[in-house]
Amino acid sequence: MVAILSEVTGRQLSYFQVPMEMTRGAKGEDAVKMYEWFETTGYSADRAALRRDFPEVPWLSFAAWTRAQDWKKLLAG
* Range 10-20 average pLDDT: 95
**pLDDT > 90 fraction of the chain, expressed in percent and rounded:** 99
- Listed by start position, the domains of the chain span 2-75
* Residue 2: closest CA among 16, 20, 14, 18: 14
Say whether pLDDT at 77 is over 90. Answer: no
- What pLDDT is stored for residue 1 in this prediction? 95
Give Cα separations from 25 to 33, 40, 43, 44 (angstroms): 13, 21, 25, 29
Tell me the CB-side half-sphere exposure of residue 40, using CA atoms within 13 A: 6
Say whether pLDDT at 30 is over 80. Answer: yes
Say whether pLDDT at 4 is over 80. Answer: yes
